[in-house]
Amino acid sequence: DAGVTQSPTHLIKTRGQQVTLRCSPISGHKSVSWYQQVLGQGPQFIFQYYEKEERGRGNFPDRFSARQFPNYSSELNVNALLLGDSALYLCASSWDRVFDEQFFGPGTRLTVL
Amino acid sequence: ELKVEQNPLFLSMQEGKNYTIYCNYSTTSDRLYWYRQDPGKSLESLFVLLSNGAVKQEGRLMASLDTKARLSTLHITAAVHDLSATYFCAVGPFSGGYNKLIFGAGTRLAVHP
C-alpha cells in the first residue's frame, strides 16, 4: 500500500509570494495534519483536518491556511512568504481524529529567498 | 506551556558503546513516540509507548516510559554506524479532541569507529 505522498518535493519562492503544498493520505485515513520543521528543530504542529473540517490549529499566523477535500487529500497554503517560512513541511495522516498513530510523508522542502 | 525536552542534543558515540537519550515532558499525555530522521528525510516511527512501565525493543534500540516521572528513555546498545541519525521524542494527543504531537528538539547521534 502507498504511504503518505506529498508534492512538490522541493520548492523555491521569493518573499511575498504565495505557495500551495499538497498531501495525499494513506488510503482509508480520514485525518491529515501538517507540521513545519525548521532546520535543526523538531516539527511544530500547524493544523489537523478531519472529515474536511479543521479540528486543531497550532500557533501560526493567519497567513497559513489549509483545506481538506472529499477524497481526504489536503492542501496547505502560505501567503506573503517570509524568509522564516523556509522549512520542511510534513504531512501526516491517521485513521481517526484523536488517538490513532500518525504516519508521516516525505515532506516538501520550501526555500524562501 | 507544554514542553518536551530531550538531552543530550548532540551525541558522539564510539561503535560498540552503550548510551541513553532522555525525554522529559511537562504535562500528562496519552502516548509517547520515538522517531528517527535521516538528513533531508521524513520521520520514521520507531516506538509507540502507551502506558506506564511500557518497554519496547527493536534491534539495538530499547525505549521505556515512566508516566509518573514524565520521562522516557531511548537506550542504544552496542552502537553501529547505521544508527547515526536524529532521534525525536513526541507526546500527544492532549485534551481538546485533536491529534496534535509536540516534539522535542531532537538528539543528533553520530556513531564513529
DSSP state letters, B6-61: EE-SEEEEETT--EEEEEEESS--SEEEEEEE-TT--EEEEEEE-STT-EEEETTE
The helix (H) or strand (E) run that includes residue A36 is strand A31-37
- Name the pLDDT band for A1 (thresholds 50, 70, 90): low
**Closest to B87 in 3D by CA, of B27, B31, B19, B2:** B19
Could you give the CA distance from residue A71 to residue A49 in angstroms, rounded to a whole number?
Answer: 12
Cα separation of the two ends of chain B: 41
**B77–chain A nearest CA distance, Å:** 24
Could you give the CA distance from residue B42 to residue A35 in angstroms, rounded to a whole number?
Answer: 11
Q: Residue A33 above 90 pLDDT?
A: yes
Residue for grid cell 532522555: B22
Could you give the CA distance from residue B58 to residue B2 in angstroms, rounded to a whole number?
Answer: 29
- Name the pLDDT band for B110 (thresholds 50, 70, 90): very high
Task: Tally A–B CB contacts below 8 A.
Answer: 68
In tens, the pLDDT along B31-63 reads 899 999 999 888 999 999 988 889 999 999 999
**Closest to B30 in 3D by CA, of B105, B104, B95, B106:** B95
* pLDDT value, residue A67: 97
Query: Cβ-count burial of B66 within 10 angstroms (0-12 exposed, 13-18 middle, 19+ buried)?
Result: middle
Are the Cβ atoms of B100 and A56 closer than 8 angstroms? yes
Averaged over B86-101, what is the pLDDT? 84
Are the Cβ atoms of B4 and A42 closer than 8 angstroms? yes
In tens, the pLDDT along A15-31 reads 999 999 999 999 999 99
* pLDDT value, residue B27: 82
* pLDDT value, residue B95: 66
Q: Residue A108 above 90 pLDDT?
A: yes
Least confident of A65-69, A79-83, B68-72, B85-89: B68-72
